[in-house]
Structure 1
Amino acid sequence: MKKTLLPLLCCALLLAGTSACTDNKTTADNTETANNEANDNYMRNATSGEATATNDGDTTGSTSAMPPADATATAPHATDQEFMESAAHSDQNEIQLSKLVLDKGATGMAKDHANMMVKDHTKSTADLMPIAKKKGVTLPTDMDAEHKAIAEQMKTLAGKELEQRYMQQMVLDHQKTLNTMKAHSTMTQDADLRGFIGKVTPVVQGHLDMFQKMKM
């Protein structure tokens, strides 16, 4: 009887051990699968989070750059007085920068154009003065602060470098002036100023075209 039970007991223990190993392996496999799924979900969430952070206004690392602000953009003047003061400043900016390059020995076309600027912008101020006097507006007789700083920079230059810098500035200045005149012509109700703008605008446009061709 004892000899019969002993083999049966051994078989039972062997089966139990095998079942336990199978259960442990299944548990381990399930645990590994769960861990892998968790890791996959974490990576997907992390990637999604990075994309969200980028799209939430963080442009660090973006390859697209914001376009530069238009250097010739101008805001319309609120009043006729502001426009007249601005126009007089503009004349002085061109007159005095042109005199600067002439004093420093500008030659050729740069010299010719600078002489033209002095002549034409002196006449522009002369045309504006009686209108301003009639309206009780005192016109400025000097450059604005921005162009005083530009003049200081240009004083450090000479020769072709100075002439090139002067031409670049004339293009910017005349485009700004043209924009301002066109904007104010649609705003002002003053017939005298409309007549002044209509007279001076073609001259400013001609200066702009001339300096743009000279730069090319």
Structure 2
Amino acid sequence: MKKLSYVMMIAVSALAIQSCNHGAKDAKSTADSLNKTKDTTTNVAATGGIAVSSDDAKFATAAANGGLAEVALGKLALTKTTNAAIKDFANMMVTDHGKANDELMAIAKAKNITLPMQPDSAHLKKADELSKLSEPDFNKQYVSAMIDGHKKTLDLMNNEAKNGKDSTLKAFAANTAPVVQKHLDAINKIKDNMK
């Protein structure tokens, strides 16, 4: 009997470990999956349907994911650095991306798009890595991450503004792109001044 109990405990532990490794999706993947489910004509009665194309829904989740990450990393920067220019930039991230996130949430609610409520696993991992750095290393890595992130976000906004199908999301992207460009210009100037 003891042997059977021991074998059962091992089996249950193995299943628990396996499910932990394979079951967890990050917030963006979960939102994309939920939107894909809504985007089927057979599920409209159950899901309420979705009022945009799948590409527009993917844009919305990607934009929300990036915005959430910018706010989270901005808040982290406010606690990690004493560099005044980086602190000012971080405050701008929290304010501007927070405002854009709120605007996008309102659009998503009206269009029945599910958005992530926290950054995806890649951004959470980056935040964790940055949080462990000394201030000089943090400053360099944060600035580098902001440049990369804003280049990608600018491409995302410009693409949606040009190719999106939903007029509300296209307008959001067109209005947000100049703000993202302003951020990219500001962080590039900070990088140049750090040399």
TM-score (norm 2): 0.68
Q: Name which one, 1 or 2, has greater alpha-carbon Rg.
A: 1
Aligned equivalents of 1:117, 1:197: Cα separation in 2: 17
Give the match for residue 144 of structure 2. Answer: 168
Match of 2:133 among 157, 163, 183: 157
1:155 CA drift (Å): 1.4
CA deviation vs aligned residue, 1:149-180 (integer Å, no higher than 9, x gap): 11111111122221111111000000000111
Give the match for residue 117 of structure 1. Answer: 93
Q: CA RMSD in A?
A: 1.5
Give the match for residue 188 of structure 2. Answer: 212
Aligned equivalents of 1:140, 1:106: Cα separation in 2: 31
Aligned equivalents of 1:150, 1:210: Cα separation in 2: 21
1:139 CA drift (Å): 1.4
SS at match of 2:116: coil
Determine what percentage of the aligned residue pairs are the same residue.
37
Aligned equivalents of 2:81, 2:142: Cα separation in 1: 13
Match of 1:139 among 115, 118, 125: 115
Aligned equivalents of 1:88, 1:197: Cα separation in 2: 12
1:78 CA drift (Å): 5.6
Q: Is the 8 A contact 1:88 1:125 kept in 2?
A: yes
Aligned equivalents of 1:106, 1:100: Cα separation in 2: 12
Q: Comparing both structures, which one devotes a greater share of its residues to helix?
A: 2
Aligned equivalents of 1:105, 1:209: Cα separation in 2: 20
Give the match for residue 104 of structure 2. Answer: 128
SS at match of 2:163: coil
Give the match for residue 165 of structure 2. Answer: 189
Matched, 1:97 2:97: no
Name the amino acid aligned to 1:201: A
Aligned equivalents of 1:215, 1:124: Cα separation in 2: 25
Name the amino acid aligned to 2:172: F
1:106 CA drift (Å): 3.5
Match of 1:80 among 27, 32, 56: 56
Name the amino acid aligned to 1:171: I
Q: Is the 8 A contact 1:106 1:163 kept in 2?
A: no
Q: Is the 8 A contact 1:99 1:118 kept in 2?
A: yes
Give the match for residue 180 of structure 1. Answer: 156
TM-score (norm 1): 0.62
Aligned length: 140
CA deviation vs aligned residue, 1:125-146 (integer Å, no higher than 9, x gap): 1111121111101211211111
